[in-house]
Structure 1
């Protein structure tokens, strides 16, 4: 049975070049980059080159890069170790963030710091005005995600960051860029103090993330030890993961068909338009929606049931964030104010530069077929 993989927001298949990178790593570049002999120095040089590659894709010449193990560690590091934590400080957080962000701010709230969670619209969008209203002279850190991992909503973080700085120039601004990096272009990063990313969303190996941070912004080590990564992240670097991350970023910058995900998304949505009783949870406004994630609710059908039915046909989708899939009802559905029926029927389909028109047409047709069949058993 041919597999159709439409869960690229959860993870992506590594590029073919990652096999070549592993071979080079295993045969020539396996040395510890902290050692002082020539071969190890060569590895460290490649690590520094990888940082430059990632920052070029981000669009900044003033930020620095520290490698971590994943996007979650990166966000935890910024939120828990990247702001001036004084007794009178407060925090502002988007209301539909990834758990790695939301749980970090909940931890701060438990420690006694005031945290304001901004309520998004029903698609997950947050406006600059909403954020600015929550910022005051004592705000230490504001965090609003670039692209929502469940709905595909795209926040204008450039305008949001500018609004934060206009209200309080000393407040730090962080954006979770895991779903957006190399897929959504930024033209002005000057007001973004921290931006966190992850390799495995870009067809590289799992196990590597990064924090982009402006020089002289507050940032302390989250993991202590040997003082690697300029003293900010101890532990021997995952050089294989770093090299594959840089290669994937280079691919997205130089070779990837950046329009393909958007093309198949439009084809998929058009094909789904004939399905009875579906609700688009992704923003309809193209300025507020990314091009690689679609979330819709098939009313009268449990999303999890539809997922497993499609799986039997070789089609892989999800019902939301892979990180939250084992925790029951989506907290995002609650944050967006979805009805119980909308939340129960929600499914997420996510595309890559390698997704084809044939695949999305097959998936849409199968969703229609299975929805009609399942409704016979759920609707009276």
Structure 2
């Protein structure tokens, strides 16, 4: 099996699974309980929070545990709307956000808020001039995806952070779900107020994530009930999932320096191999994208046809975001980059992890060189 769909989800590391099992069995108490089992669970939760805070170089009280990227993005965006409604009702985002943010903004518009959607260039990046022109006195939040989940395009987060130093009334949220480890952010130095991460994108388990909330920022909770997570996220904490996430984050960070160099080589090798195949268009710009995501289109071939042909060879790739892959319309992301409807409807995404190898890339390219010409004869 060759698994090239790591942007959809990664395979949990064995060490992470073993950690989850041990905590689930031996430390199953509710952290809010006052007995010994509860206090032991609370100690583990505190240790995991400190470990993640240390790795991210932020304060422990700035880490809020969530169920993953979707909840984190919703909490940052809607939470700002709830907490700052008296300050204004204008938001700025881009046309290439993950559905977890994009659909949230559409919902806010239905509730009467105003949203400016920034366009992107052919490489999938916003213009800083457009961003600054869009800022208004009633702008309360700018929310941008760091690494695009379909194309790998990197938004200029550091440059945006510098711009926002002149606009203290505007909060800044970054969807860092695809960027964790692959394209690091220095939260301690950048002017970022909220940052979303999800464990299953770096070999943790599904159903766990975190939202960085810079000290001094207010959010309105989505869930009401108990006082867990600074009253921002009511509900009994997923202690086993959180501890496993902390371990996964640490293990991946240890691999990241060498691992990202390896990913860059894999990416270059794959793109070079794709560019010589007839009717293939690479939609990912090499220079302005993350090392682990490549998007390409193939003539008028429906992406599901190519995906199923590769699946028969036990090669697993995807189309669009996993959250939207079952929708038949053209990719919103590729349309925003200027592709026509046919090209935007045939996008294929290949995404690597540190576990992938050059030999796997060679095998996949070999199959693509055979499969694509055959499919073009039928689907042209």
Instruction: Please give the range of the TM-score, normalised by the shorter of the 2 chains.
Output: over 0.9
CA offsets, 1:233-265, max 9 Å, x none? 111111111111101001012245422222221
Residue 66 of structure 1 aligns with which residue? 64
Matched, 1:219 2:219: yes
Distance change in 2, residues 1:62/1:14 (3 Å): closer
Alpha-carbon distance, 1:271 to partner: 2.1
Work out the CA distance in 1 between the residues paired with 2:172 and 2:26: 40
Work out the CA distance in 2 between the residues paired with 1:182 and 1:36: 37
Residue 41 of structure 1 aligns with which residue? 39
Residue 352 of structure 1 aligns with which residue? 353
SS in 2 for 1:222: coil
Work out the CA distance in 2 between the residues paired with 1:68 and 1:20: 21
Alpha-carbon distance, 1:340 to partner: 2.0
SS in 1 for 2:116: strand
Alpha-carbon distance, 1:63 to partner: 6.9
CA offsets, 1:28-72, max 9 Å, x none? 211111111233222212212222222333343487011111110
Q: Give the conservation status (yes or no) of the 8 Å contact 1:55–1:212.
A: no
SS in 2 for 1:252: helix
SS in 1 for 2:141: strand
Residue 147 of structure 2 aligns with which residue? 147
Q: Give the conservation status (yes or no) of the 8 Å contact 1:158–1:192.
A: no
1:68-217 alignment runs, 5 A limit: 68-83=66-81, 84-86=84-86, 88-166=88-166, 168-187=167-186, 189-217=189-217
Return 308-317 or 25-34, whichever deviates more: 25-34
SS in 2 for 1:160: helix
Work out the CA distance in 1 between the residues paired with 2:378 and 2:117: 40
Work out the CA distance in 2 between the residues paired with 1:62 and 1:237: 16
Q: Give the conservation status (yes or no) of the 8 Å contact 1:135–1:164.
A: no
SS in 1 for 2:46: helix
SS in 1 for 2:62: strand
Alpha-carbon distance, 1:336 to partner: 2.4
Q: Give the conservation status (yes or no) of the 8 Å contact 1:58–1:182.
A: no
Q: Give the conservation status (yes or no) of the 8 Å contact 2:20–2:241.
A: no
Structure 1: gaps spanning 5 or more residues: none
Work out the CA distance in 1 between the residues paired with 2:76 and 2:113: 16
Alpha-carbon distance, 1:86 to partner: 3.0
Could you state the TM-score of these two structures normalised by the residue count of structure 1?
0.94
Return 17-26 or 63-72, whichever deviates more: 17-26
Work out the CA distance in 2 between the residues paired with 1:151 and 1:356: 20
SS in 2 for 1:181: coil
Return 125-134 or 304-313, whichever deviates more: 125-134
Distance change in 2, residues 1:252/1:143 (3 Å): same
Matched, 1:265 2:290: no
Return 241-250 or 77-86, whichever deviates more: 77-86
Alpha-carbon distance, 1:19 to partner: 2.8
Match of 1:51 among 44, 49, 52: 49
Matched, 1:304 2:304: yes
Work out the CA distance in 1 between the residues paired with 2:299 and 2:58: 44
Matched, 1:336 2:317: no
Alpha-carbon distance, 1:18 to partner: 2.0
SS in 2 for 1:258: helix
Work out the CA distance in 2 between the residues paired with 1:335 and 1:69: 29
Work out the CA distance in 1 between the residues paired with 2:255 and 2:332: 37
Residue 291 of structure 1 aligns with which residue? 291
SS in 2 for 1:323: coil
Distance change in 2, residues 1:63/1:97 (3 Å): farther
Aligned length: 374
Distance change in 2, residues 1:291/1:59 (3 Å): farther
Work out the CA distance in 1 between the residues paired with 2:327 and 2:109: 22
Matched, 1:15 2:17: no
Alpha-carbon distance, 1:113 to partner: 1.4
Work out the CA distance in 1 between the residues paired with 2:185 and 2:19: 29
Distance change in 2, residues 1:328/1:54 (3 Å): farther
Q: CA RMSD in A?
A: 1.7
Work out the CA distance in 2 between the residues paired with 1:244 and 1:127: 38
Alpha-carbon distance, 1:178 to partner: 0.5
Structure 2: gaps spanning 5 or more residues: none
Q: Give the conservation status (yes or no) of the 8 Å contact 2:87–2:138.
A: no
